[in-house]
Amino acid sequence: KSVTPAEVNYQAGASPLASEPMYQSSNPKAPAMTQAEFEQGRKIYFERCAGCHGVLRKGATGKPLTPDITLAKGTDYLKVFIAYGSAAGMPNWLTSGEMNDKEVDLMARYIQQDPPTPPEFGMEQMKATWKLLIDPSKRPTKKMNSYNIDNIFSTTLRDTGEVALIDGDTKQIINIVKTGYAVHISRTSASGRYLFVIGRDAKVNMIDLWMEKPDNVAEIRVGLEARSVDTSKYKGYEDKLAIAGSYWPPQFVIMKGDTLEPLKIVATRGMTVDKQEYHPEPRVASIVASHFKPEFVVNVKETGKTLMVDYSDLNALKTTEIGTARFLHDGGWDSSKRYFMVAANQSNKIAAVDAKEGKLAALIDVDKIPHPGRGANFIHPKFGPVWSTGHLGGDSISLIATDPKGHKQYAFKQVAVLKGQGGGSLFLKSHPKSQHLYVDTPLNPDPALSKSVAVFDIKNLDKGYTVLPIAEWAGISDGGAQRVVQPEFNKAGDEVWFAVWSAKDKQSALVVVDDKTLKLKAVIKDPRLITPTGHFNVYNTQHDVY
């Protein structure tokens, strides 16, 4: 199975585990390495390789690299692979200039050693990092600012370990809040008052939007590496609980919704859905809160299982384990919020999970490496309500019908495929008030495509798309490899925001487009907006409008 360069770039981000001390057992059969060489190998491994091959090298997007396999191949064979890559998607680390001869030799020897194991992270470790900065009794009892908090955007500043809170009405920065390293997502509590932010280093920050100047009120580290956070949304449980899932250790934790006090940790290690073999490192990918039951929907990547975790009694915890497909990644609700549509990206499938019945509704084949973000919902003139995804591995945009009541014959089938600008797409978006579907292509190797987005007219999907030159509109003179990433609507659904993501030492911007006219509406530039990537509108995130 081949992997595209876009996918490799996407996965090969540095893991915060690079700087963690780890237990190492020596392997007498492996080629000799000095302690210093070993440390360097470990660092490179976590910066370059762990995203695809896994912390324990059991394999995910990339092949397994455990010593039983690598020792049999030997140093010379492994060196060729590392240096020149493979058609299946292994990068050419030497010829691309990212590693030198010495490093290639070092890595070939390193992967024949036993994988070092990062430490576990249980209740004692979590509690030691937990900081209740402002006790709930000392917080405002009403909104103390004049912001229209429903229309605030929380923007990830990836390389500074911060989020920018931006007033969606005035486009002014309200505050730059310190968070974890390389923040991944922001999610809003059921009431819309609190924002939860998670960093790649598994630090969760809780921001109170009622404060005169919204800022952190609590923080905790829930592990050593993580990507997902959400809060309880079922009636009667609004703002009561929060949940965060981690990549390492493979587990999730349920916390108090007003303080982040950790209450219950659950491991995700276990058997895979297909071969039913033990996996020691099943990472927690997307998590959402159900609107139908007091449940969190937890998607476990390497086992290919969706866990419906009933939070009504944390001691007698009931979990419905739904077999879906490997390797689960990102997803979102259909417009009825009954079906969770999640990408099993290495199986090229979308799993539709029925949150009302607690079972798999369908597994739908799509193109190579679906990557929906939360996906985009709209009403198709013929097929009724559809949910859509773009792909990292190709230019197609899949429309999947999601209305088994009104459009039974189409339900959970891929009913149409649109041709977009190209592969390397990460996110797409529409809005109930909009007639448009916006599709980004930030990881496409062609700068013309990574700097622009495609817009489809929902009423005339056959007409093809219009291209919006978003990066050009940002008017950044020093150029560089800007990537336009993630369409996100404002609360009213009449404007769409995009991040123009430049290198850390270059100017970035946010570009706002008028949804009716598809014309430029505003450019937000500020020296503090360093490497903006994801951005999350409070209201739309709170109500799962996308």
Active site residues: 49, 52-53, 90, 329, 371
Structure tokens at 150: 């429903």
Instruction: Return the residue of 51, 118, 262, 385 that touches ligand DHE, per CB under 6 A.
Output: 51
Q: Answer yes or no whether residue 227 interacts with ligand DHE by CB under 6 A.
A: yes
Look at the chain and count its residues: 546
Q: Answer yes or no whether residue 439 interacts with ligand DHE by CB under 6 A.
A: no
What are the respective helix, strand and coil percentages of the chain, to the nearest 5?
20, 35, 45
- Contact stretch for ligand DHE (CB under 6 A) within 10-18, 119-127, 453-461, 509-517: 10-18
Sequence-ordered alpha helix ranges (H) in 50-177:
50-53, 67-73, 75-84, 101-110, 123-129
For residue 275, which amino acid is it?
Answer: K
Q: Answer yes or no whether residue 184 interacts with ligand DHE by CB under 6 A.
A: yes
Of 90, 97, 20, the C-alpha closest to 51 is 90
Contact 165, 153 (CB under 8 A): yes
In this structure, the number of other CB atoms found within 10 A of the CB of residue 58 comes to 18
Residue 400, phi then psi, degrees to nearest 5: -120, 125
Closest CB to ligand DHE among 332 and 404? Answer: 332
Q: Answer yes or no whether residue 490 interacts with ligand DHE by CB under 6 A.
A: no
Q: Answer yes or no whether residue 346 interacts with ligand DHE by CB under 6 A.
A: no
- Site size with ligand DHE, rule: CB under 6 A: 25
For residue 103, which amino acid is it?
Answer: E
Please report, for residues 3, 275, 305, 392, 419, the alpha-carbon distance to residue 441 in angstroms, rounded to integers and kept in the order given: 17, 34, 28, 8, 13
Q: 461: number of CA atoms within 13 Å, CB side?
A: 20
For residue 353, which amino acid is it?
Answer: V
- Contact stretch for ligand DHE (CB under 6 A) within 20-28, 181-189, 249-257, 410-418: 181-189
Q: Nearest approach, Cβ of 109 to ligand DHE (angstroms)?
A: 25
- Category of 364 on φ-ψ map: left (φ > 0), alpha (ψ -120 to 50) or beta: beta
Q: Answer yes or no whether residue 542 interacts with ligand DHE by CB under 6 A.
A: no
**Segment 190 to 219, residues that bind ligand DHE, using CB under 6 A:** 200
Q: Answer yes or no whether residue 11 interacts with ligand DHE by CB under 6 A.
A: yes
- Give the CB-nearest residue to ligand DHE: 534
Q: Nearest approach, Cβ of 101 to ligand DHE (angstroms)?
A: 27
Contact 16, 88 (CB under 8 A): no
CA gap 275, 269 in Å, rounded: 15
Closest CB to ligand DHE among 78 and 474? Answer: 474
Instruction: Return the residue of 158, 193, 368, 407 that touches ligand DHE, per CB under 6 A.
Output: 158
**Segment 91 to 150, residues that bind ligand DHE, using CB under 6 A:** none
CA gap 218, 216 in Å, rounded: 6
Q: Answer yes or no whether residue 330 interacts with ligand DHE by CB under 6 A.
A: yes
> How deeply is 149 buried, as exposed, middle or buried, from its count of CB atoms within 10 A (0-12, 13-18, 19+)?
buried
Q: Nearest approach, Cβ of 31 to ligand DHE (angstroms)?
A: 29
Q: Answer yes or no whether residue 285 interacts with ligand DHE by CB under 6 A.
A: yes
Q: Nearest approach, Cβ of 124 to ligand DHE (angstroms)?
A: 26
Closest CB to ligand DHE among 52 and 265? Answer: 52
Q: Which positions from 60 to 99 touch ligand DHE by CB under 6 A, shown as an x/- string?
A: ----------------------------------------
Instruction: Return the residue of 6, 60, 164, 185 that touches ligand DHE, per CB under 6 A.
Output: 185
Q: Nearest approach, Cβ of 447 to ligand DHE (angstroms)?
A: 17
Question: Do the bridges between strand 162-167 and strand 152-157 make them parallel or antiparallel, or are there none, so unpaired?
Answer: antiparallel
Q: Answer yes or no whether residue 508 interacts with ligand DHE by CB under 6 A.
A: no
- Contact stretch for ligand DHE (CB under 6 A) within 105-113, 135-143, 283-291, 522-530: 283-291
Structure tokens at 57: 């090298």
| DSSP 8-state class, residue 64 | P
Q: Answer yes or no whether residue 432 interacts with ligand DHE by CB under 6 A.
A: no
| Beta-carbon contacts of residue 223 (< 8 Å; ≥ 6 apart) | 121, 202, 246, 247, 248, 249, 251, 253
Q: Which positions from 366 to 385 touch ligand DHE by CB under 6 A, shown as an x/- string?
A: -------xx-----------
In this structure, the number of other CB atoms found within 10 A of the CB of residue 186 comes to 25
Closest CB to ligand DHE among 83 and 376? Answer: 376
Q: Which residues would be at the binding site for ligand DHE (CB under 6 A)?
A: 10-11, 13, 51, 156, 158, 182, 184-185, 200, 227-228, 285-287, 329-330, 373-374, 426-427, 485-486, 533-534
